[in-house]
Structure formats: structure tokens, C-alpha cells
Amino acid sequence: MSALRGRIADLSPAELSARLNSDGLALSVPPFTVRVRSPIPVVREGIERMYALHEHFGDDEVFCDFHLSILPRLGWTGLRCELDVDGQRPFTPLARGEAFAFFEWGLNWCVTSHCHHWLTLHAAVLERDGRAVLLPAPPGSGKSTLCAWLMQQGWRLMSDELALIDPASGQLSASPRPVSLKNESIALMRQRLPDAVFGPVAHDTLKGMVAHLRVNESSLRQAALPATPRWIVFPRFEKGATLRAVPRPKPQTLVELASNTFNHHVHGPRGFECLADLVDGCEAFDLSYSQLDDATTWFDSLTRSS
Amino acid sequence: MTLPALDLLLLPLREPERLGTLTPGQWDLLVRQGRRADVLARVAERIEAAGRWADVPPEVARHLQSMRLLAQRQHEELRHETGQLLRVFESAGVPLVLLKGAAYVLQDLRVGEGRMVSDIDILVPRERLADVESALMLSGWVSTNNNPYDQRYYRTWMHELPPMRHLRRGTVLDVHHALVPLSGRLRADPSAMLADIRPIPGNPGVYALSPTDMVLHSAAHLYAEGELELGCRGLLDIELLVLEFAQDADFWPTLTQRAAALRWERPLAQALVYLDELLSTPLPPEVRDWARKVHQHSAPAWRGRLLDAMYLRALRPDHASLSDRWTALARAGLYVRGHWLRMPPWLLAGHLARKALMAARAPKPTEA
């Protein structure tokens, strides 16, 4: 039987680099095992910093959910990199500097295209006392920033991108991974969270500037614990606004959630019922805010009110 | 040189009772190969039928169950969509004839269990194509390709129209007006097969090709098609079809006679030879001998050996663990050959030049 062989932080840079350059690093990213290969320095740097607390499987023969390589390429306009998912190359190459972000996006793609045993939803998930809040929101709404912040304020980060719902039980599984921050929020989080660890910065991506923030130890330690969805919050960052939370009617919540799923078509009527049950068991709000501290107070009050 | 065998991928399909002996590393490879070959749902259905889930590690089982769920969902959609299509075809007065995966699933054949069916293939008599197309359009199916050159290419030289997609439901329909590309060297006229269609039990008004014709159509597909990324799945389809139909003692003689009547012996012989070589399918000795003889005579010795070497690479799942240094070249070679067979040189040159020009003029694709 294969066993975990220690944390990434315990590997010397030379060992990490050797693994990434040869057979690949069997990285435990609960609830998955991912084999990563790449000769690109920024990928090693990203894994070294963002996955320092995650564990690996050493040289053991182990079942890996996904096999990802980030390969160097030469383009007309400079150095590029390409994502190879075990022989499949689903995306056009990106700039070399985006190689680590490409790994993260590639892993998201693997989960949404292969894991139909869950109902997958584009949403961040935070938990406290076994109860979870779902944050489904379009890019630019400040969802990830809020996530990174609340994680440091005592909420457990289950995911900043993907809610994994078990259609049978309605419970949420956690997949704590680096939080993806964009543009101004990178500087904001560096200033507000001086102890947080940041990954390599990718400039000029389609999403602007992107950098990741390491998931904290307690969120990672509790990765195996599922949670019951209890609140659905649609956050919107609005400059200068005072915090306002408006309850959202259930039908509209259901429609919005359904449009955020990656695979409810795969689950058919059962998927629809699962989503309807989820909405039924949750309170839903539209939240607009500008101050992170106000948001903390409001989220904390959720756990006390019910 | 010996190429890696398909033993691991075939194990759950052939001997599910041995699943308990697999190591984590073997499971890893099995799932990777099965994913590339698009047969994980089929593997899952075999495990289900054999009652062997207890032998599958949970981290593997969830991937198999995931693909099984996807296939089941596709089958549900297929049944619903067939009902919708039937209304269109009844109004046009044309029989609805399903091909390939759609036909396997609706007939409840073993080959349909866990077979992915991402689009629906149907066969329409060429003289009724215009009626069917307009009826389909009135019901919400629109062509995915509006380029006049492509439209002419598909209609004049190919065997199917550009895929049609339903405006609201998003389902994709491949309308075939011939069996293989019209410009190729195999007889493509579907009238003989259309004259022998069989009703699909439980689905009044819906038809499939006869058992022999289903096998021949699938074999011709492997023969004429240059893109063989899913070739292994196609070969497994043929295996499951012949093994199920061969329970009828008349099947094999009927099959070879039909192949002779249609002058399709070569594709059939080729498929049977590769079944034997790649999958070790249990074929009756006389069928095996017949296939070998026809296959050997179909090309001069050196060309035959070269083609075999190419096919035996390209028909393996497109995965690094089942490839050697020649695999990429073999795939590329068969791709070019697929076009070569389909079009005479002057037509091919014009087509490729036209495609290159169209690609150069097209707007650049955006990044992921």
C-alpha cells in the first residue's frame, strides 16, 4: 500500500526539481492525487510555495487522479508553455510566466470534466462548525479576495472555485487549494495579510494580473471533513458602499445556482432535485460591501443567528 | 520490435474476476489508457455486471462511476431525442434509421452497455436529403457550419453533412447520406443497406441496419477513416457485435456473403485481422483464415506490411504507454491516406490549398 511520504516543504529544492523533471511529483491535493511534471522554474517555484504544506507520495506506485505536464514551448512572440493532460492538449499555449497559473486552471478543468460523481458548481465554499456558506459569483465580484480574507478570520476554506456536492447526501466535499487573486486584490491582500504566503505573479493574463495565496494549515488539515450547505451568498464588491445584505428569493437563487453548475445536465432530474434541496436548506443573500472588516462581522453574525 | 500489449485495458472486459490482483500503479495505467480510448464507462458496466466493485479501490471507482453516469445520461438523452426525431421523420415520410452508437444502445445490444454516444448518427436516402434537412430545420436543428465551400465539400465528396445542432437542447446530429465518403474507392451507395433495415423493438418507426450491415459499416469506417484516435473503441465495438451475433450459427457465412455482394470484403477482412492481432478476439478458424487470405491479397506484400505496421499502432489507444517512436508517424500517415483514399490527387491538392487559404484568412483563435 502506498503511503504519504512527507510535506513538499521537507523536500530540498533539488529533490523537488528532480521529481518535476523526471517521472513527476505525486502530489496529494485532497481529495485527489495529481502527478505533475514540468521543467519550467516558475512551476517549481509555485509548487514549492503554494503546496509547501501539502504532502507527496515519494517514489511509490500510486493511483493518480490526473496527470498534468506543463511543457515549455517557443512561440512567435516569445517563450510560452502548454498544458498536457496525459497526452491531451485542450488549450492554446500561454506565456511562460503563466505556467503555474496554467497548472491551477488545468487542474480545475480536470475536475470539472472528469468528476461527475459530484455535482460541481462554480462557487467558493467556506465552513464553520460543520456548516458551509457557498459564494457563487462571476469573476470580478471579489469572491476570491473575500475568501482569502475570511480564511484568515477563522473560516475554513473548502474551495475558492469549485463546490463539490455529493448528489446522494447533499454534503459538500472540500478541496483546499491556493486562492487565486487578481489585479488590485493582490496588493490589498499583501498589505492586509502580511503573514500570508503568495505564489509567483503572472502578468498580463486574460484575467489581468494573477497571483495565488497559500491555503492555511487548519483548512488543509480538515480537508477530509465534509460540511452541510447552510447559506448561499452572492457577494459584490462596490467601492465606497456600506454593507447591505438583501435576502434573495429561493426560485431566483435556484436559477442562478443552476447556471453556475458545470455538470447538472449529467445528473438530469436528480441533479435538479439535489440543487433544489440545497436551496431549500439554505438562507440566500445578495451581499454588497466595500470594507472587509464589515464583511467579517456580517459573516460571523450568520453563524450566531441560526 | 514488440509494441506494448493491450492486456491491462482488456482485463476488466475479459476477466473481471482478476481485478483484485491489480496494483495501484496498474490501476493508474488502466484508467489513463481507458480514458484516452473513451471506454471507461464500458469498463464500469462490465464491473457492475460481474458484481466486482468490491475489488476496485474507491479512488478508482469514483472515476469509473463518473463515466458510467455520463454514459447513462447520454443514453437517456438519446432516447428522448429519438422521440423528437421520429416526429420530424414521420412528418417527412422518411424512415428514421439510426447508425453506430445510437443504434447499439436503442437495440439493447451488449455493445451499447457503457458506449459513449455524444452525437446521434442517422442515415437518410440521398434523394430524400433535402426534405429531411428542411424538416429538421423547421424543428430547430441548424447546421454548425455556414461556409459554402465546406457545405459543398460535405455534400459532394463526404458521406455526411456538417453536424447539425439543436438550437435549444444543444444535441448534435450527424446526417449521413452515404456509408463512406462518396469520392473514395469503396462503394458508398447505401440503398442495399437501406433495403434491409430492421425495426428496433420497442421503438415503433425507428430502424437500425441489419446485424451484418452494422458490422460491415463499422469495419468500413475503420478502413476509410484517417483519424483513428478512437480506433480502439471502434475495434471493441466490432468485437462485441460479432461475438453477440455469432450466437446465431448462420451469422458468419451471411456476413462474408454480404461483404462479397457489396464488394466490401477488404474492410471486413482488415477489421477481423486486427481483431485477431490486437484484441485476440476468439474468431472461428475458417473465418480467421478467410480474413487473412483476403487481407493478404488486398495489397502487395511490402505495402500490406507497411499498412499493418501503421494500423497496429494507430488502433491502440492514443496513450504514451501504448505507443512507440513510430506511433505519431503512423497516425499522421493514416490521416493523409484517409484523405488520399477519399479524393483523387487533383481534388485533394485543391482541397488542401483551399483549406490553407481559409485558415490564413480566418480570425486568430483566442487564448484559453
- Please give the pLDDT value at position B356: 78
The domain of B152 spans 7-361
Question: Which one has a higher pLDDT value, B182 or A5?
Answer: A5
- Please give the pLDDT value at position B368: 36
Separation CA B279–CA B235 (nearest Å): 8
Between positions 193 and 212 of A, the ones with CB within 8 A of B are 206
Separation CA A135–CA A156 (nearest Å): 14
B16 belongs to a structural domain: yes
A271 belongs to a structural domain: yes
- How many beta-carbon contacts under 8 Å exist across A and B? 68
Q: Which of A64, A91, A117 shows the shortest C-beta gap to B65? A: A117
A91 belongs to a structural domain: yes
Q: Cis bond leading into A31, ω under 30°? A: yes
Instruction: Say whether both A51 and A90 belong to one domain.
Output: yes
Give pLDDT tens digits along chain A (306 positions). 467 889 999 999 999 999 999 999 999 999 999 999 999 999 999 999 999 999 999 888 899 999 999 999 998 888 999 999 999 999 999 999 999 999 999 999 999 999 999 999 999 999 999 999 999 977 778 899 999 999 999 999 999 999 999 999 999 999 999 999 999 999 999 999 999 999 999 987 777 899 999 999 999 999 999 999 999 999 999 999 999 999 999 999 999 999 999 998 899 889 999 999 999 999 999 999 999 999 999 999 999 876
B368 belongs to a structural domain: no
Q: Which of B57, B76, B319 shows the shortest C-beta gap to A268? A: B76
Instruction: Say whether both A162 and A262 belong to one domain.
Output: yes
Residues of B in contact with A65 (CB under 8 A): 59, 63
Q: Per-residue confidence at B367, pLDDT binned at 50, 70, 90?
A: very low
A90 belongs to a structural domain: yes
The three grid cell numbers given for residue B288, joined into one nine-digit string: 480467421
B266 belongs to a structural domain: yes
- CA A101-A126-A160 angle, to 5 degrees, is 15
- Asked which of A76, A91, A114 is the last residue of a domain, the reply is A114
Domain count, chain B: 1
A12 belongs to a structural domain: yes
Q: Per-residue confidence at B3, pLDDT binned at 50, 70, 90?
A: confident
Task: Please state the pTM of the whole predicted model.
Answer: 0.92
Instruction: Say whether both A91 and A152 belong to one domain.
Output: no
Separation CA B244–CA A184 (nearest Å): 63
- Give me the mean pLDDT over the B210-220 stretch: 96
- Please give the pLDDT value at position A2: 62
B342 belongs to a structural domain: yes
Residue B28 scores a pLDDT above 70: yes
Nearest alpha-carbon partner for B339 in B174, B153, B85: B153
- Asked which of A97, A114, A131 is the last residue of a domain, the reply is A114
- Please give the pLDDT value at position B187: 79
The domain of A18 spans 8-114
Residues of B in contact with A117 (CB under 8 A): 62-63, 65-66, 69
Residues of A in contact with B117 (CB under 8 A): none
Residue B362 scores a pLDDT above 80: no
Nearest alpha-carbon partner for A222 in A294, A132, A149, A139: A132
Q: Give the CATH number, domain containing residue A154.
A: 3.90.228.20
Instruction: Say whether both A26 and A53 belong to one domain.
Output: yes
Nearest C-alpha in B relative to A105 = B368
pLDDT in tens, B68-118: 999 999 999 999 999 999 999 999 999 999 999 999 999 999 999 999 999
Instruction: Say whether both A123 and A102 belong to one domain.
Output: no
Instruction: Say whether both A83 and A225 belong to one domain.
Output: no
Domain count, chain A: 2
pLDDT in tens, B292-346: 999 998 877 888 889 999 999 999 999 999 999 999 999 999 988 888 777 777 7
B1 belongs to a structural domain: no
Nearest alpha-carbon partner for A270 in B116, B72, B81, B115: B72
- Give me the mean pLDDT over the B39-63 stretch: 97
Instruction: Say whether both A268 and A281 belong to one domain.
Output: yes
Instruction: Say whether both A94 and A171 belong to one domain.
Output: no
Instruction: Test A63 with B59 for CB contact under 8 angstroms.
Output: yes
- Check if the beta carbon of residue A61 is closer than 8 Å to that of residue A2: yes
Instruction: Say whether both A138 and A262 belong to one domain.
Output: yes
A2 belongs to a structural domain: no
- Asked which of A114, A146, A167 is the last residue of a domain, the reply is A114
pLDDT in tens, B131-152: 999 999 999 999 888 888 888 8
Residues of B in contact with A64 (CB under 8 A): 28
Instruction: Say whether both A132 and A257 belong to one domain.
Output: yes
Question: Which one has a higher pLDDT value, B182 or B364?
Answer: B182
B280 belongs to a structural domain: yes
B366 belongs to a structural domain: no
Instruction: Test A2 with B24 for CB contact under 8 angstroms.
Output: yes
B256 belongs to a structural domain: yes
Distance from the first to the final alpha carbon of chain B: 40
Distance from the first to the final alpha carbon of chain A: 44
Q: In this structure, how many other beta carbons lie within 10 angstroms of the beta carbon of residue A93?
A: 20
Separation CA B241–CA A14 (nearest Å): 54
A57 belongs to a structural domain: yes
Spatial CB neighbours of B197, under 8 Å, sequence gap ≥ 6: B95, B97, B207, B208, B209, B210
Q: Per-residue confidence at B226, pLDDT binned at 50, 70, 90?
A: confident
pLDDT in tens, B238-287: 999 999 999 999 999 999 999 999 999 999 999 999 999 999 999 999 99
